[in-house]
Structure 1
Amino acid sequence: VLPPLPGPGGPGPAEVGLGALPAELRAAVRALVGDLDSLFTGLGLREESFAVGALSRVIAAELASYAPARNRRRTATNKASVIFVDRTLDLAGAVGHHGDNLAEKILSVLPKLPGHKTDVMVNMVELTALQTTDETCSIIAPGCLAQPNDPAAKALWESFMNLKQKEAVMEARRHLVEAASRENLPIKMSMGRVTPEQLSSYIQLFRNNLKALENHCGLLQLVLATVQTLKHPQTSKWDNFLAFERLLLQTIGESEMPSVLNQLLPMIKSYNERTKDDYACEDFLVLLIYIYSVVGEIKCGKELDTAEEEVKKALVKAICDEPEPSPLLQKITGCDSSLNLTSQKATDAMDGIFRSLRDIARVRMHMKQFNSIHNPGSNTHQASYKPLLKQVVEEICNPDRPDPVDIEHISSGLTDLLKTGFSMFMKVNRPHPGDHPLLIIFMVGGVSVSEVKMVKDLVTTRKPGTQVIVLSSVLLTPHSAVELLFAPDRL
């Protein structure tokens, strides 16, 4: 479920109802509401629903009026606030590289496990006697991240999610050393920085000991995932992205959109001109989403049109020069090989992408409080990105409890409506998302690992004693966000 982008001069958010959505999206919303009701029934919840964004309002209203949910709320005793937030209001959080998080990098760079949305394939050749340099060796079944029956692996995955990368890699070494000691394997301890080579040498010890392999198979898969991620060329690009995003934040504050786009132009290179450190075509789509989402409303005019046309032309040329389009480019252009990929098809795809980018820039225009995710900076502070999700959580945890402006309460029946009506005339407190001991935040359209960690940390410091659950339709990585937005079959 991805919130549709507003078209130019499209309906204001208040005018979108379930009936106005395309049939597929309507079906997806109804299915989601049914699933959420089942979950809340299992937890015995009586929830108050809130929404930030147009599709979130539709989902919250559907949940409020869903007959089984109304029956459940009459008898359930555990109170909770459920806040739905539209992903499209802040796409910089989905495509940005700000999280110093190992789990996020593993999910971003390793290939997806076939048939799975989130889990990845871990190459297991290192644990066998097979001598091959083939990265995609398909004789050996792949490993994965989900290890429900291995307590050590589950604990290590929690560390990957919640610790900084350096600490998480040290945790991986600690778990591996403990496992090797338990199996009496001849491990040489070494202190200092953990390298992928060092982890590989520890993994080798398990290779010829079948019993040890069997006992610690889950843990070994997670450590192998770590080694493969740290060695992956895309990981070294991660810091380049982060540096460039920081530079963009400064530039956006100081100059107009055309000059920001002109900075990108010389960096767009064809396949034959690129080195391993240069950005590929889909990397530019990631950066463009970041730019348009952070900038917000832009001044349209001839200068912007010209700058966009130049970037479009450069990207079309680069896409057509690819010897073989990547899976992501295949989905975006609808062409499965370079033979079918004509300049016209690439141009059509680019035109569609830039229309969507303009919509992305417009998406917060109806917001009063959360209308910006860019801190322009000052003489003493650098410009920075302020995540929408962080602003929402800070508002919920605000000890002064002002009436939220953009977090809309969705009433679930006559009693609620009366309460809201009376509150205009009498001292009746309107429902506030910070009222209850359990806070559930549902990101409609996907959430990233670093956002989940940010929400948990914020609630722990700002509102200790409140339990928080972050739910979403998918765990996002920068490239999966591009696919969700620009591939024709978004649902």
Structure 2
Amino acid sequence: MQLISNSNMASASVKEFGKAWWSEVYNRIIGAVVFLDDASAECLHWDGGLFNLLSGGAVAVKSLSPFEVCKKDQKKAVFITQATSTQLQTISEIIRHSDFTHCILISCVSLDVVYLEVNDGRDVSDVIASGRGSIEATKQLEMMLIGWIGKKQSAVEVVHIPIFTIALTNVVFVTPPYHNIYPLFDGKLEPGSQSIDLHTLSYQERADARRLASGLNNMLDSMNLKEDIYYMGSYSSLLAGILENSPVCLARRKNCLHPASLIIVDRTLDLCGVTSYSTESVLDKIMSALPRFPGHCTEVAVDVSPLCEANVINHPEDVQLSPGCLYHANDDACIQTYEYMINKSHKEVMFDLYNKLSKIDVQKSPSPKSLLKVTPQSVEKIVTASKGNYDIIGKHLGVLQQALAVVQTLKSPRRAQQELLMSLEKQVLQNLAASRDSTSVLHQISHLIKTRKDKNLPLESLLALLIHVYSLVGTEVSFSKQHEESLTETLSVAIFEDHRSLYQKTVETESLMVTPEYCDATSKRVMGQLKDIAQMRRNLQKYNSVLKPCETGVGHEYRGVLQQLVEDLVDTERPELTDLKHRNDSIKDLLRSGLNILTSKKTRSTKHPLDNSTIVIFVVGGITAEECKRLHRSVITSGIDNTVLIGSTKLVTPGEAMRDVLPL
């Protein structure tokens, strides 16, 4: 049994936090076959990828699948896993069909959480309350491994190594294992409900909440942070409660030295930012245009056939050529370009790429200084000049893949759709701002849905536009009943016509009978959820509106809940953060206020997140690169000295945001 102490791993950034823990993995893989689940494989990609394992001594690397089996002479296995019940079953299958004598199970999730799941249905509250959950889980999992190996002479080890973050920049991070976690309760939205606690959730929802809270706890532990917890939204309140009351978190706070503020926010309070195509961020544009890298939620798949001499016929069902990708952990120039894709303008990214490509150009294109504008064609020309020159390709593979990603995005048919959707969003925003109650926005969207084929607009994008509209207006605008009923009918017909493209292929949808009646019911459910989306900010006092007059005095603009919160947060005047609830010290506060009455003191200083030097803002349910850029810019221009980290469960596109929230 081995439990790693975190005390000697205190690190100042999320990037260092990830690197420190991966080094613990590399210490254990010599001579082993390494099995990874998808989430761990994605985290590995952002630390350096497959070659880190192979150069570190692994004899083979395989996917965590029950169909995998090892050779007779392969005696050692390392499993890097989320340790869910399904994954534990998969591990048992692999071990039984192989001939291992040494197995190491690396759980990326805290072992006290795994203990609760393995013993679901049994009363283990005493073990958890006494802080023995991790030790008991280790014993239990070791016994399982020994049983699966089935040999007298065998060695097993169970260890918790918290691998769950990827750092997009020095201040922005996402958590691939938790990308599916979303602030819905049994598929429904709950605006500021007081009746939600862990016991009202389903088994899966409870497990997800505990896992995400344990991940945040591990991160705070490794960074030696003792946090004050603030939150906005029902789901965030739940996570705050787990972090405040869990025995593991309580024990950690006693040992951590550096005070920090953890601010958790529900994405559902403001769905405008994630359903908008109006973005300057090149990374957002790439993620909306290109497919995801297989098994990944953050990385994209880049078609690298323009570099190859092989004749490749690309077909969605038959990938003949392994895709390229955007992030290259071992290439500093590529890391810089990736950060530019989040934080810089489109023009700056194009010049950066052209500058880097011109140094490897075999055709000697014009120098970057002599160009007024870098076009996709000028970038593509340099890339295709390298075709078949594998010596150059091998040395500069990272920047070539990044350039191809940008070119393919700009030439994608989806770009024209996105430009059209951007102009539609602007029209809608000004229409809503000008007419308020007499608005005909829904009538316009109904017409767009009916004529979508002529304009080459996919239904999923128009559904995202509907979410954008309902979240934008909140409770400020009431749409006419007649327009909503007409929209419901239009949606029903559209869902029936486009169900093949709308429903992603799964076992369930393959056997789904899509009848007009089914589409009717789906359309009504969608409209119900849209009305709920409009209610999500009704309990907020200061941030209940995101439709604000422009500072120029002409027209209106969208200013998101996160943006307003961060601007208030870093304001040196320290305006009251009325909508940000504070979990910590609530009983002490009550006692203090009671004493104040006795001593007739009228004022009492309240805690403020800026009181602590480190602030972590974590959004449950996804964030865009554009939002990260704007929040980071607000922090930088404010002049505060605090370190502000921005995290979320995932980066998200409008189409994905739509699927997260609508019951299709």
**How high is the TM-score relative to the length of structure 2?**
0.67
Offset at residue 299 of structure 1 (A) = 6.7
1:448-467 paired onto structure 2 within 5 Å: 448-467=624-643
State how far apart, in whole Å, the 2-side matches of 1:3 and 1:371 are: 18
CA contact (8 A) 1:82 1:440 kept: yes
Question: Mean alpha-carbon deviation: is it higher for 68-77 or for 348-357?
Answer: 68-77
Closer/same/farther in 2, CA of residues 215 and 422 from structure 1, 3 Å limit: farther
Q: Which residue of 2 aligns with 1:186?
A: 363
1:353-372 paired onto structure 2 within 5 Å: 353-372=526-545
CA contact (8 A) 1:446 1:476 kept: yes
Whether 1:170 aligns to 2:351 is: yes
Extract unaligned runs of 5+ from structure 1. none
CA contact (8 A) 2:183 2:189 kept: no
Question: Mean alpha-carbon deviation: is it higher for 58-67 or for 236-245?
Answer: 236-245
Letter in 1 for 2:661: L
Which digits, 9 at most, give the CA deviation of each residue in 1:435-471, with x for residues without a partner? 1221110001111111111110001112432211111
Q: Which residue of 2 aligns with 1:386?
A: 559
Letter in 1 for 2:459: C
Q: Which residue of 2 aligns with 1:283?
A: 461
Secondary structure in structure 2 of the residue aligned to 1:83 = strand
Q: Which residue of 2 aligns with 1:405?
A: 578
CA contact (8 A) 2:548 2:558 kept: yes
CA contact (8 A) 1:7 1:359 kept: no
Closer/same/farther in 2, CA of residues 86 and 442 from structure 1, 3 Å limit: same
Aligned residues: 476
Q: Which residue of 2 aligns with 1:294?
A: 472
Closer/same/farther in 2, CA of residues 72 and 378 from structure 1, 3 Å limit: closer
State how far apart, in whole Å, the 2-side matches of 1:33 and 1:210 are: 46
Offset at residue 391 of structure 1 (A) = 0.8
CA contact (8 A) 2:232 2:264 kept: yes
Whether 1:30 aligns to 2:30 is: no
Closer/same/farther in 2, CA of residues 259 and 299 from structure 1, 3 Å limit: same
Q: Which residue of 1 aligns with 2:500?
A: 325
Whether 1:268 aligns to 2:446 is: no
Which digits, 9 at most, give the CA deviation of each residue in 1:173-195, with x for residues without a partner? 11111244xxxx33222512222
Q: Which residue of 2 aligns with 1:91?
A: 271
CA contact (8 A) 2:538 2:544 kept: yes
In structure 2, which of residues 515, 521, 525 is the aligned counterpart of residue 348 of structure 1?
521
Which digits, 9 at most, give the CA deviation of each residue in 1:375-399, with x for residues without a partner? 1569942011111101111121122
Offset at residue 93 of structure 1 (A) = 0.8
CA contact (8 A) 1:332 1:349 kept: no
Secondary structure in structure 2 of the residue aligned to 1:297 = coil
Offset at residue 9 of structure 1 (A) = 12
CA contact (8 A) 2:193 2:234 kept: yes
CA contact (8 A) 2:191 2:538 kept: no
Offset at residue 94 of structure 1 (A) = 0.8
In structure 2, which of residues 397, 400, 403 is the aligned counterpart of residue 223 of structure 1?
403
Which digits, 9 at most, give the CA deviation of each residue in 1:28-54, with x for residues without a partner? 111011111111111110111101112
Calculate the aligned-residue CA RMSD, in Å: 2.8
In structure 2, which of residues 548, 556, 559 is the aligned counterpart of residue 375 of structure 1?
548
Letter in 1 for 2:330: N
Question: Mean alpha-carbon deviation: is it higher for 278-287 or for 304-313?
Answer: 304-313
CA contact (8 A) 1:332 1:483 kept: no
State how far apart, in whole Å, the 1-side matches of 2:327 and 2:243 are: 31
In structure 2, which of residues 482, 485, 492 is the aligned counterpart of residue 309 of structure 1?
485
State how far apart, in whole Å, the 2-side matches of 1:47 and 1:92 are: 30
Whether 1:81 aligns to 2:261 is: yes
Larger radius of gyration: 2
Offset at residue 305 of structure 1 (A) = 2.9
State how far apart, in whole Å, the 2-side matches of 1:442 and 1:259 are: 36
Q: Which residue of 1 aligns with 2:194?
A: 14
Secondary structure in structure 1 of the residue aligned to 2:651 = coil
**How high is the TM-score relative to the length of structure 1?**
0.89
The higher relative CO (CA closer than 8 Å, separation ≥ 6) is in 1
CA contact (8 A) 1:97 1:242 kept: yes
Secondary structure in structure 2 of the residue aligned to 1:207 = coil
- Identity over aligned residues, as a percent? 29
Letter in 1 for 2:540: M
Which digits, 9 at most, give the CA deviation of each residue in 1:263-284, with x for residues without a partner? 112222367xx23x44221111
Secondary structure in structure 2 of the residue aligned to 1:325 = helix
Closer/same/farther in 2, CA of residues 378 and 309 from structure 1, 3 Å limit: farther
